[in-house]
Amino acid sequence: MKRFFLSLTFLAVTFCATAQWSFELWHEGRVVLETGDTLRGQVKYDLQQDLIQFTNKKETIEALTARKVVFCEIFDKTVGQYRQFYSLPYSTSSGYKTPIFFELIGEGKLTVLCRERLENQTSSSPYYYGSTYSRTVLVNKYYLLSEKMEITELSVRKADVMNLFGKHADHMNDYMKDNKLKLDDKQDLIKIVNYYNSLFKTTK
């Protein structure tokens, strides 16, 4: 039995070591530069380093910082959808604003942005009492973008989000229950934000 659990552990470690995150892959996309030029080809993003890499298959790779990029769009095959990234000024811990990349989650009455990073998390082992194991997970952090282009952190605690929904809170709560959507799941949050914003669209 012990050998069986050790085999499971080895397989789990091997999977973590070989699995690739979306930001490690090249995606078909386009990059709009500050100069107004548009680059089309293979794109790789890294929100932790605030870099966009671009190649047009000519064996040259260009690394672009948030100061050089306005907008980037990729088709991410890992989730089967387009993803958009914007370079926006954000206040650092020193109090100065500097451009960094944010992914657009939803735009409208409620504009939500996202940044992602890898974290090592330690958990208790379900097999051995008192033992722990660590794993690397992708953590998403969300932000609100105001009409004045001010960016603030967004808590995805249910009570906090319901306050944002205001008079539509009960309706949104029913929508989330009916569709089994969770606020701490990124793909679910995209659906929630887009549905909320659709309530304010007027038909012509």
The confidence score (pLDDT) of residue 164 equals 95
Do residue 166 and residue 136 come from a single domain? no
The secondary structure element, H or E, covering residue 42 is: strand 38-46
Per-residue pLDDT at 6? 38
Do 55 and 137 lie in one domain? The reply is: yes
| pLDDT of res. 56 | 86
Whether this prediction's pTM lies above 0.85 is answered by no
Rounded Cα distance, 6 and 13, in Å: 11
Task: Give yes or no: residues 111 and 56 share one domain.
Answer: yes
- Contacts for 28 with CB less than 8 Å, ≥ 6 apart: 41, 42, 43, 74, 75
81 and 98 together in one domain:
yes
123 and 183 in a common domain: no
pLDDT value for 68? 97
Q: What are the φ and ψ backbone dihedral angles of 160, each rounded to 5 degrees? A: -65, -45
Report yes or no: 69 and 31 within 8 Å, Cβ to Cβ: yes
Note whether 65 and 162 are same-domain residues: no
* 55 & 109 share domain: yes
Backbone angles phi, psi at 9, to 5 degrees: -60, -45
Decide: 192 and 165 in contact? Cβ < 8 Å: no
Residues 92 and 127 in one domain: yes
Host domain of residue 199:
156-204
Residue 5 three-state SS? helix
pLDDT at position 88 is: 96
> Given this model, what pLDDT does residue 94 score?
73
Domain count across the chain: 2
Are residues 56 and 115 both part of a single domain?
yes
pLDDT along the chain (204 residues), means of 10: 40 47 94 96 94 87 96 95 96 84 96 94 70 84 94 95 96 97 96 96 62
Q: pLDDT at position 130, please?
A: 65
Q: What is the pLDDT of residue 197?
A: 96
Same domain, 97 and 145: yes
- Residue 202 is predicted with a pLDDT of 67
Question: For residue 19, what pLDDT is reported?
Answer: 63
Rounded Cα gap, residues 118 and 138, in angstroms: 5
Residues 45 and 128 in one domain: yes
Res 143: pLDDT = 97
Residues 167 and 120 in one domain: no
